[in-house]
Amino acid sequence: MKRIGLLGCGAMGTQIALAIDSGQIPATLTHVFDESKEKSALLVEKLTNKPEIVENSHLLSSNPVDIVVEAASQDAVMDVSLSVLQNKKDLMIMSVGALLDESIYDILSDACKDFKKTIYLPSGAIAGLDGIKSVKNELESLSITTTKHPRSLKGAKFFETSDINLDEINSSTVIFEGTAKEAVSLFPANINVAALLSLTGVGSEKTGVKIVADPNTEKNTHHIVAEGKFGKMTFTIENYPDENNPKTSRLAILSAIETLKKYCLNDIQIGT
């Protein structure tokens, strides 16, 4: 049975841990870490099979685990990923936006080859990535429009320098329009879907992103448009936010659970 180390004990990490504990994911959660000791302790209290809480994130991969699951932040990816691979452990990344840093991407790609390990990237809160991948060489334009309730966007780095007051928005309002690279930097906890889409398609500087705040919606909606020599594809995904964290779609959690399940069953490789 596969052994899993979990980095991040927030809403997503908790749901992944519960899926392991219940047997939905056929594995054993052996070690966990979160910057907040309180979150780590709260998570362990909820589990029947108690994992060990390690003292720092790098200790996750120094223990006998098969894979480390990141459900923390882009900063955590940058800090821990290389050591995980160097310790010859597989890695699953949820904060995909970190990979839009070209130096990080190249370093981790080389490490995967050098240490013969794999990085898994769940499809997150969107669908249609297989289709995008199949037409990658013929893509001429790729864009995603993400619509969320203003409360789901609160706390983003974007608002540190913006005059937009989310509490004053009373109708559907475009608050950002730019590239995936810009969006992921300014909305690191909200728009990892744009990072994954750009990595699958034409890259972060050629993938357009529009973010809409709509106080009249209770869903996180992603509308993807891909055009090229092959023709045109459009996908619209309407997700309900996770009840414990409105910044995260329920679908993102389900995709993480499914990816881990396949990994543990030695099924289809999801991504590298």
Helix ranges restricted to H, the chain: 11-21, 37-46, 59-62, 74-86, 102-115, 129-134, 150-153, 180-186, 192-200, 250-264
Do residues 103 and 181 share a domain?
no
Flag whether 32 is in a domain: yes
Residue pLDDT, tens place only, 164-189: 999 999 999 999 999 999 999 999 98
Residues 191 and 146 in one domain: yes
What pLDDT was estimated at residue 242?
86
Q: Is the pLDDT of residue 267 over 60?
A: no
Predicted local confidence at residue 196, as pLDDT:
96
Per the structure, the complete domain to which residue 68 belongs is given by: 2-120+251-264
On whether 17 is known to bind a ligand per the annotation, the reply is no
Give the per-residue pLDDT at 272.
Answer: 39
Looking at the structure, do residues 36 and 83 belong to the same domain, yes or no?
yes
41 Cβ partners below 8 Å, 6+ apart? 53
**Residue 156's closest CA among 227, 97, 237, 234?**
97
Q: What is the pLDDT of residue 246?
A: 82
Backbone angles phi and psi of 102, in degrees to 5: -60, -35
pLDDT above 90: percentage of residues in the chain: 92
100, 167: one domain: no
Count of beta carbons in the 10 Å neighbourhood of residue 36:
11
Q: Are residues 116 and 13 in the same domain?
A: yes
Candidates 31, 58, 222, 223; catalytic one: 222
DSSP state of 240: P
Query: Which strands form 207-213's sheet, in the order they lie side by side?
Result: 173-179, 207-213, 139-148, 220-228, 231-239
| Residue 245, in any domain of the structure | no
Q: In this structure, what CATH number is given to the domain that contains residue 59?
A: 3.40.50.720
Q: Are residues 97 and 199 in the same domain?
A: no
User: 205-247, pLDDT tens digit by residue?
Assistant: 999 999 999 999 999 999 999 999 999 999 999 999 888 888 8
Are 139 and 217 within one domain? yes
Same domain, 223 and 141: yes
Q: Is pLDDT above 90 for 270?
A: no
Terminal-to-terminal C-alpha distance of the chain: 22
pTM value? 0.92
Find out whether 191 and 126 touch, Cβ atoms under 8 Å: no
pLDDT band at 54 (very low <50, low <70, confident <90, very high): very high
Residue 245: its pLDDT value, please?
82
State the pLDDT confidence band at 152, using cuts at 50, 70 and 90. Answer: very high
The count of domains in the chain is: 2
- Is residue 192 marked as binding? yes
Three-state SS at 192: helix
Residue 269 has pLDDT above 60, yes or no: no
Q: How far apart are CA 260 and CA 272, in angstroms?
A: 14
Q: What is the pLDDT of residue 244?
A: 83
Cβ distance 24 to 40 under 8 Å?
Answer: no
Same domain as 31, residue 48 = yes
The reply to whether 149 belongs to the active site is: no
Q: Are residue 57 and residue 19 in the same domain, yes or no?
A: yes
What does the pLDDT average to over 256-272? 75
